Amino acid sequence: MRKPAFCLLTCVLIGLFVTVPSASADDGTIYRLVLTNDREVVGEVTELENVYKVKVASGITITIRKSQVREMIRLDEGASAAAERTPRRTAAEITLAEIQEILGSEEIEIKALDYIERVDLMQPFDRDETALREMLRIAGREARVLETDHIVMVYTSSIEKARKLGSRLEAVYKWNVRFIEMMGIPPVRPDSKLEVFFFGTHKEFDGYSTMHGFRELGVLGFFHHVDNRSAFFDMNTWPPVAVPYRRYQDPQTNPQVRRRGLGLIKRYVEFQNLTVIQHEIGHHIHFNIGVFPPWGDVPTWLVEGLTMQFEVPPSRLGASLGATNHQRLREIRQLYGPNCENLPPLRDFMLSDAMWHQGGGASYSIGWALVSYLYKTQRESFAEFMRLMAQREDDRGARMPVTEKLKQIEDIFGEIDDEWVQRFKDYVSGLQLKTSVLPPALGDLP
C-alpha cells in the first residue's frame, strides 16, 4: 500500500544554480533584479557579502544569492531607459493578507531556492482505484466517496460534514506545501491521492481503530503509517459528548441551561475536531510529500512538534504555523512550571525517543515548544535541519548512533548547554498565553 514517491508564498523564487558576475548595489535603493531563471524581483536592496536582501512592497524581505542575479536595474530618476532594455515580466506578489491567511500574521524572510527539478504539488493527484474499492468494503454498504484535488475520502457521515472536512484537509495540505517550499525541502509527488476515512459514528470509528490497535489509546483520530491512511469521526457521537448532548436536547431541560450547554458543546467539538484532524492529516502529508522519509530515523519531538504547528484552529489570532498554539503553551506551563523550571534534561530529550515515550502525552507540549522555538528564533538553521531530516535513509532498520545525532544537532543549532536551554525556557515563558481562544472543558458544562 505504501508508495513513497513539497508555495511558502507564490513568490518563492526557483532557479538553477548558475555562476554569473554579481552587481554592486547602493543600500536602501530600489532595484529590479533579473534572475537567472528570468524571474524578476523589485524592492529595496541591501547588499551583504554573498547575498542581496530585498524588501518588497508588502514589507517582506527576500534573501537572494548573488549568483542567482543576472542583472540589476536601478529604479530611480533617469533609469527608465535602462529598465526598458529588459523585457518585463510580472513578478508574483506577496501580500500581508496571504501571510495572515496561510501562516499567521508574523513577518517572514524568504530564501530564494535552487531546485534541479520542479515538482508541482498543487496539481491534482490521481486516485488509486484498487485501494478505493478496499476502503469502500471496509466502511460498509452506506459508505460514499468524496474527492478533492489531493484527498479521496470514504465517508459514512452526512455529505455536509464530509464536504466541510474535505475543505479543511485541503487547507492543511496547502499550508504544508507552502511550508516545505519555504524550508527548501525537495518535493515528492505521491503516486495517488491521500486516503481518508470519515465515519459518521464513533462506533464505526471504534471498530476501525480497534482493528489497527488504537482503541486502548483512546484516540480521536489517527494516521496509520503502514496503511498510509487517516481516520476520523463525527465527534458529536463521541460518548463523552453524546451523553450531555442528548441531555440538552431534551425539551424538559431549562431553555437557558439548554442554550448554554449546547453552545459550549459546539465550541468544544469544533475546536477538538479541528485540532485532531489538522494534527493527524499533518502526519499523513509530511510522510507523503517529502518532509520526512516514511521509515527514516527522524526524532519523535520533530515529527510530532512540527505537526503541532499546524494543528491550531483558525481564530482571531491567526491559524497554523504563524499562530501560537495556546493549548500546547498552557499544557507545558501546567506540566513543567510557568518558567519551564521542571523540564526533563533537554539534550537527552532531543536525542532519545525512549524519553519521549516515557513521558507519554506530557512530551507533546515539549515537542511543540522546541519546534516553535527553533522555527521562530533560528529560521535558517531550522530549514537546514529540516532538509537534513528529509534526506535520512528511508529504512526502518537504519538507525544513527546517538553521538552522530548529537553532532548534527549541535553543528546546526549550537551546543545544547545550560545557556542554550535557558534561552529556550526564556522564549517559552515569554510567550503570552491567551486562554480566550481555547474551548471550554466538558467539566464546565452546566
Per-residue confidence in pLDDT tens, the chain, 446 aa: 444 433 332 232 223 223 333 456 777 788 888 876 566 778 888 888 778 888 765 456 677 778 778 888 887 544 443 333 333 333 333 344 433 444 443 333 444 444 334 578 999 999 999 999 999 999 999 999 999 999 999 999 999 999 999 998 999 999 999 999 889 999 999 999 999 999 999 999 999 999 887 776 678 999 999 999 999 999 999 999 998 888 888 888 888 888 888 889 988 998 888 899 999 999 999 999 999 999 999 999 999 999 999 998 877 766 667 789 999 999 999 999 999 999 999 999 999 999 998 888 899 999 999 999 999 999 999 999 999 999 999 998 888 999 999 999 999 999 999 999 999 999 999 999 999 889 888 777 76
Q: Are residues 149 and 211 in the same domain?
A: yes
Antiparallel, parallel or unpaired: β 40-47 and 51-55: antiparallel
Give just the sign of the alpha carbon dihedral 313, 314, 317, 322.
positive
In a shared domain, residues 340 and 362: yes
Specify the pLDDT at position 198.
Answer: 97
pLDDT of residue 113: 41
Count other C-beta atoms under 10 Å from residue 357's C-beta: 10
Q: Do 262 and 151 have their domain in common?
A: yes
| DSSP H or E run through 144 | strand 144-147
**Residue ending a domain, choose from 291, 313, 347:** 291
> Phi then psi for 35, rounded to 5 degrees?
-90, 165
Residue 4 domain-assigned (yes or no): no
Please, where are the H alpha helices in 104-201? 129-139, 159-183
Amino acid at 322: G
Does residue 207 sit within a domain? yes
- Write b or e for each residue in 242-263: b if 16 or more Cβ atoms lie within 10 A of its Cβ, otherwise e: bebbeebeeeeeeeeebeebbe
> Which grid coordinates belong to 325?
498554539
- Closest Cα partner for 264 from 233, 300, 240, 294? 240
SS3 394: coil
Of residues 117, 43, 37, the one with CA closest to residue 75: 43
Same domain, 378 and 437: yes
101 and 38 in one domain? Answer: yes
Residues 124 and 101 in one domain: no
DSSP 36-78: TTS-EEEEEEEE-SSEEEEE-TTS-EEEEEGGGEEEEEE-STT
Residue 394: CB atoms within 10 A of its CB come to: 14
pLDDT of residue 114: 42
Count of CA atoms in the C-beta half-sphere (13 A) of 298: 26
CB 312 within 8 A of CB 320: yes
Nearest-angstrom CA–CA distance, 102 and 170: 12
The count of other CB atoms within 10 Å of the CB of residue 198 is 28
Instruction: Provide the CATH number for the domain around residue 64.
Output: 2.30.30.100
In this structure, is residue 8 part of a structural domain?
Answer: no
2, part of any domain: no
Any domain includes 445: yes
Distances in whole angstroms, Cα of residue 376 to Cα of each of 182, 355, 396, 425: 14, 25, 31, 14
Q: Cell numbers for 376, please give them.
A: 521562530
Asked whether residue 7 is assigned to any structural domain, the reply reads: no
> Are residues 323 and 363 located together in one domain of the fold?
yes
Determine contact, residues 281/230, Cβ cutoff 8 Å: yes
- Three-class DSSP category at 393: coil
Amino acid at position 25, single letter:
A
Instruction: Please name the residue ranges forming H helices in 310-378.
Output: 326-336, 346-351, 353-359, 363-377
| Residue 72 C-alpha from the chain's centroid | 35
Last residue of a domain, which of 276, 291, 306?
291
Q: What is the DSSP string of 198-255?
A: EESSHHHHHHHHHHTT-GGGT-S-EEETTTTEEEEE-GGGSHHHHHHHHHHHSTTS-H
What pLDDT score does 37 carry?
59
| Nearest-angstrom CA–CA distance, 273 and 233 | 9
Do 431 and 305 fall within a single domain?
A: yes
DSSP structure class, residue 315:
B
**77 and 132 belong to one structural domain:** no
> What integer pLDDT is reported at residue 366 of this predicted model?
97
The answer to whether position 1 is within a domain reads no
Give yes or no for a contact between 119 and 189, defined as CB atoms under 8 angstroms apart.
Answer: yes
| CATH number of the domain within which 200 lies | 3.40.30.160
Give, in order, the Cα–Cα distances in Å from 431 to each of 87, 291, 338, 373, 376: 48, 27, 10, 11, 12
Question: Domain check: are 90 and 125 in the same one?
Answer: no
Determine the structural domain holding residue 421 and report its residue range.
296-446
Nearest in space to 439 (alpha carbons), one of 305, 274, 306, 320: 274
Contact by Cβ (8 Å): 91, 41: yes
Say yes or no: 199 and 276 in one domain: yes
Q: What pLDDT is recorded for position 333?
A: 96
Question: Residue 91 has what DSSP assignment?
Answer: P
Q: Are strands 194-199 and 151-155 parallel, antiparallel or unpaired?
A: parallel
Among 258, 291, 324, residue at a domain's last position: 291
Residue 233: closest CA among 172, 142, 147, 165: 165
pLDDT of 218 reads 73
**Count of domains in the chain?**
3
**Looking at the structure, do residues 85 and 134 belong to the same domain, yes or no?**
no
In a domain, 226, yes or no: yes
pLDDT of residue 85: 38
